Chains A and B, each alone.
Chain A
């Protein structure tokens, strides 16, 4: 079972920031927060991950609360091509070296013109 809770769907206006929340209240100390997205009919795509510090890359920013029980993925200037299902996943990449990702239902982000 997924260890995260996300809203089922969200809308965002094109050009505005999209803020996608994720709750992971049972996260353990060595688990990272990963974000992937799946654009319609494509394979999932890695976006960003972090342990406890905020992270930024060319796609997005990840803000993790100090207690690490929740996080927010920020797409600073959403475009129509960012319409997708966004998955928040917690995992320990070194646990048993299995590497499996457990996907929940994700948040369907609809970017509107």
Chain B
């Protein structure tokens, strides 16, 4: 049973295209995240949602728009893809315990390559 799943695993596309990455968690968690890992392997948070509400937006370009249809899903839509968007994108989720967030569980990642 996959806890946090992402689709697709690999995504190769041309500059200027629009693409989406989907994330689903079956852990019953309230909070979900998107992280970006660039070519230098630095992992950086992009967005966080709690119960479908945005709580973190780390100065990410407007071309990136997360959407949470329900608390088990957090999708990432990217408009007008640029070369610099090439990276591995990780989805994560965590429970909301005693008013705070706990251990995060990460998905397997989506490797996006923009040509």
Contact = CB atoms under 8 A, between A and B. Distances in A.
Interface of A: 34, 36, 38, 41-46, 49, 85, 87, 92-95, 97-103, 105
A42 B105 contact: no
Describe B's contact surface by its main secondary structure: strand
Contact of B42 (A36, A43, A103): A103
A46 B100 contact: no
Contact of B33 (A38, A93, A94, A99): A99
A113 B61 CA distance: 45
Q: Indicate the size class of the contact surface on chain B.
A: 20 to 34
Interface in B86-115: 90, 92, 94, 96, 98-109
Describe A's contact surface by its main secondary structure: loop
B101 A46 contact: no
